[in-house]
Structure 1
Amino acid sequence: MSQQLKVALVAGEASGDLLAGLLLDGLREHWPLLAAVGIGGPQMARRGFVAWWVHDKLSVHGFGWEVLRRYREIVGIRKQLKTRLLQQRPDVFIGVDAPDFNLDLERDLKAQGIKTVHFVSPSIWAWRPERVEKIRRSVDHVLCIFPFEPALLAQHGIAATYVGHPLASLIPMRPDRSAARASLGLTEEDPVVAILPGSRPSEISHLALRFFQAAALIHQAQPAIKFIVPAIPALRASIEQAAQASGMHAHLQIMTGQSHTVLAACDVTLIASGTATLEAALFKRPMVIAYRMAWLSWQIMRRKQLQPWVGLPNILCRDFVVPELLQDAATAPALAREVLHWLDARATQPDKIAALQQKFSALHIELQRDTSRLAADAIQQVLQG
């Protein structure tokens, strides 16, 4: 295997940046002279990735107005990126999630003879099944993070490899709760709620204030509870503003980053639906999943949804193992009530907590693979044609 590899990547938000960063670690083990360029964030930059645009430029939420007002900018970035990649011609293009941006770009690059790989299969098993034809036209190979996906894609003539979920190897099977608490200045006895209102600006605008209003109700019921909020640096100001508006700022410990430390330390988390819910499951933490979006976006998504679950832990366990409160159901009193149920269960229903942790441990084992090696091997097969 040659030690040189020119790769272009696009990761569109914080979760994709994390996945792409872990993928770059594996690629560099196989190709020490790796050169990686494209669109990405800080996790990728730490691995020597050269960002032509930062990943925040692609972070968009929902449908309707939220997308329309950013459409021209995002399409312009994709057009410029395509021109640049066709000039420089990387050995392989890897789109990391962000299918609305990446699949069209991959289709155009593939048509010009550039190998294309998509990391994280679009969720055709959850919604928008019509997207499968676009995947078939756009990519040479899909790297799947869930075990049931390759067989599903194979039914449509799409080559795919299950590589496991990188987070399952990154997060320890038995997280060190004591060390995490010590690093955050918490005691073993403190009841701790982690609040994760999302990684996109629009998620913060729809969820943060509501989450903090729920925290206020929880605080009224149990004043001893500690609330920890890990914030993406770019969104910290918005989170601080929502905390002030809720009247809970003095009772919230807002951290810059450190979401894994916070999840390891907490007893339960109130969390926005997304990749973070899988992280919480891998930390074996009870959670309350919530989501809200603009009314039009919600109407479109609800009509396209194929499964009764939205949160990844529930989808992967094929059951409502943790509560989901979506759209109009995600009221502050309802969120507070569900969080308090989990906190009370620690004393009154320890078997319920243990059963959840057992399900999450089994899920962790299922997702834990040598992702970097499997992904690199699959990419090598694509390069060999």
Structure 2
Amino acid sequence: MTGGPDEGVPTLFLIAGEPSGDALGARLMAATRRLTGGRVRFAGIGGERMVAEGLESLFPMAELTLFGIFELLPHLPNLIRRIDQTVTEIARSRPSAVVGIDSPGFTVRVARKVRAVSPDIPLIHYVAPTVWAWKPKRAAKYAAIYDHLLAVLPFEPPYFEKEGLACSFVGHSVVESGAGRGDGGRFRDRHGLAQTDRIIAVLPGSRKGEVSRLLPDFGATLGLLRQDHGNLVAVVPTVATVRDRVAAAIADWPVRSILVEGDAAKYDAFAAAEVALAASGTVALELALACLPSVIAYRLNPVTVALYRRLIRVKYVNLVNLMLDRMLVPELLQQDCRPDRLAAELRRLLDDPAARQAQVDGVAEVARWLGQGDTPPSERAAAAILDVVARHRRQSPAQAG
């Protein structure tokens, strides 16, 4: 737990389970410090970004970076142990509020147990579940557990408010990432790239399972593109949890491949690139903010997908396409995630300026919807959390501090 024993200073117990949540948590920590003049303490679970903001993580966040039913099963005993450890720590330390950041497979289970053993601790969830996409009954489930919900999309609050759960639209803090402010010239200079080199950003994900499934197809895709784009250079942004795995996979790719880490290098790469090939996820929003035309791909365990397809109620997986209600950014999923299909879509973007411009024009509207240009979303989220803490203290003065 960071900070000293200062009477009346709130302590927020934050729980992030994957890199996108870690980024949200780090921005939330910084924003909360700004709003309180530094009079706040943090505890919980987070990754390298939250640790850089001063969090002492209860255990490594990498243990929670899992996805898919069958991908999760081998890790279930450890996951249960970590849930119990987290609940025990929250009950012992009695923070001013617990804030789960996405990762519902872990955070909701923790919150449910905390509600049972320490019902007076405020529970907040950051990133509303996509009840409009699948499992609408989750709105009622969240209302039975949480005191407040923070939504990143403007149309989400009514789904939860009708169940009696207070919900604030705060915007998506990806707009604070700097994704659209990279320096392409700096990137080319740093890596000795000529102006004639055509750069493709390749983003295979941040989970071990997804990079293992996607990297072979991505490498084969580059081999097909190289046949008529001999000056192609792949830039592969990665994170620490999968760095070694990604580095080993791209070592024998058929085009020059540059591995980069960190947001600054990633966003410089976006500015230098002409197109991107990316795993589905938050990175799709970063690419939209960078106005980088993209193709989105994903592959899961087939049994997991068969189960999900019975529940999913939307036509697209990419949030850009969902918000526009049309297929602006190509999505190639499961059996369609093949090198020949991926190469065909990327070739169209590389060779057709009109196709590239169509994506750039479409994502501009999405950026506005995500909250760009107003109060930073992280500050809106921090203000909402501090308001929950303040109201709880007024109602339960014995719990203050």
Letter in 2 for 1:380: L
Contact 1:61 1:67 in 2 (8 A): yes
Contact 2:17 2:64 in 1 (8 A): yes
**SS at the partner of 2:137?**
helix
Contact 1:35 1:49 in 2 (8 A): no
Following the alignment from structure 1 to structure 2, what is the Cα–Cα distance between the partners of residues 98 and 162?
A: 19
Compute the displacement of 1:322 (Å): 1.0
Q: For residues 330-349 of structure 1, what are the structure 2 equivalents within 5 Å?
A: 330-346=337-353, 349=354
Give RMSD over aligned pairs. Answer: 1.8
Measured at CA, do residues 186 and 361 of structure 1 come closer, stay the same or move farther in structure 2, by a change above 3 Å? farther
Following the alignment from structure 2 to structure 1, what is the Cα–Cα distance between the partners of residues 47 and 161?
A: 32
Contact 1:173 1:364 in 2 (8 A): no
Letter in 1 for 2:126: F
Following the alignment from structure 2 to structure 1, what is the Cα–Cα distance between the partners of residues 255 and 296?
A: 24
The counterpart of 1:374, out of the listed 365, 380, 398, is: 380
TM-score (norm 1): 0.93
Question: Does residue 60 of the first structure (1) align with residue 66 of the second (2)?
Answer: yes
Following the alignment from structure 1 to structure 2, what is the Cα–Cα distance between the partners of residues 210 and 252?
A: 15
Following the alignment from structure 1 to structure 2, what is the Cα–Cα distance between the partners of residues 272 and 305?
A: 19
Counterpart residue number, 2:103: 98
Counterpart residue number, 2:249: 242
The counterpart of 2:363, out of the listed 351, 355, 360, is: 360
Counterpart residue number, 1:225: 232
The counterpart of 1:323, out of the listed 323, 330, 333, is: 330
**SS at the partner of 1:77?**
helix
TM-score (norm 2): 0.89
Q: Which moved more, 1:327-336 or 1:103-112?
A: 103-112
Compute the displacement of 1:167 (Å): 1.4
**SS at the partner of 1:33?**
coil
Following the alignment from structure 1 to structure 2, what is the Cα–Cα distance between the partners of residues 173 and 240?
A: 26
Cα deviation 1:134-158 (Å, max 9, x = unaligned): 2111211111111111122222222
Following the alignment from structure 1 to structure 2, what is the Cα–Cα distance between the partners of residues 92 and 303?
A: 36
**SS at the partner of 1:143?**
strand
**Sequence identity, in percent?**
31
**SS at the partner of 1:221?**
coil
Measured at CA, do residues 145 and 180 of structure 1 come closer, stay the same or move farther in structure 2, by a change above 3 Å? farther
Following the alignment from structure 2 to structure 1, what is the Cα–Cα distance between the partners of residues 344 and 79?
A: 40
| Runs ≥4 residues deviating over 6 A | none
Compute the displacement of 1:190 (Å): 2.6
Number of matched pairs: 377
**SS at the partner of 2:40?**
strand
Letter in 1 for 2:105: D
Counterpart residue number, 2:17: 12
- 5+ residue gaps, structure 2, are 1-6, 393-401
Contact 1:103 1:134 in 2 (8 A): no
Contact 1:40 1:54 in 2 (8 A): yes
Compute the displacement of 1:359 (Å): 1.9
Compute the displacement of 1:169 (Å): 2.6
Following the alignment from structure 2 to structure 1, what is the Cα–Cα distance between the partners of residues 90 and 183?
A: 44
**SS at the partner of 1:289?**
strand
Following the alignment from structure 1 to structure 2, what is the Cα–Cα distance between the partners of residues 240 and 337?
A: 26
Measured at CA, do residues 115 and 373 of structure 1 come closer, stay the same or move farther in structure 2, by a change above 3 Å? same
Following the alignment from structure 1 to structure 2, what is the Cα–Cα distance between the partners of residues 300 and 279?
A: 29
Counterpart residue number, 2:26: 21
Following the alignment from structure 1 to structure 2, what is the Cα–Cα distance between the partners of residues 98 and 190?
A: 39
Compute the displacement of 1:207 (Å): 0.5
**SS at the partner of 1:199?**
coil
Counterpart residue number, 1:132: 139
Compute the displacement of 1:249 (Å): 6.1
Counterpart residue number, 1:307: 314
Cα deviation 1:154-208 (Å, max 9, x = unaligned): 2222211111111113326565433444444434443211000111000011101
Compute the displacement of 1:63 (Å): 1.1
Following the alignment from structure 1 to structure 2, what is the Cα–Cα distance between the partners of residues 365 and 129?
A: 26
The counterpart of 2:267, out of the listed 240, 250, 260, is: 260
Letter in 2 for 1:353: R
The counterpart of 1:108, out of the listed 95, 105, 113, is: 113
Letter in 2 for 1:207: L
Following the alignment from structure 1 to structure 2, what is the Cα–Cα distance between the partners of residues 33 and 185?
A: 46
Following the alignment from structure 1 to structure 2, what is the Cα–Cα distance between the partners of residues 202 and 284?
A: 28
**SS at the partner of 2:364?**
helix
Following the alignment from structure 1 to structure 2, what is the Cα–Cα distance between the partners of residues 172 and 286?
A: 13
The counterpart of 1:163, out of the listed 145, 165, 170, is: 170
Counterpart residue number, 1:75: 80
Letter in 1 for 2:107: N
Contact 1:108 1:138 in 2 (8 A): no
Question: Does residue 144 of the first structure (1) align with residue 147 of the second (2)?
Answer: no
Contact 1:7 1:94 in 2 (8 A): yes
Compute the displacement of 1:259 (Å): 2.5
**SS at the partner of 2:30?**
helix
Contact 1:26 1:372 in 2 (8 A): yes
Following the alignment from structure 2 to structure 1, what is the Cα–Cα distance between the partners of residues 366 and 357?
A: 14
Following the alignment from structure 2 to structure 1, what is the Cα–Cα distance between the partners of residues 16 and 382?
A: 18
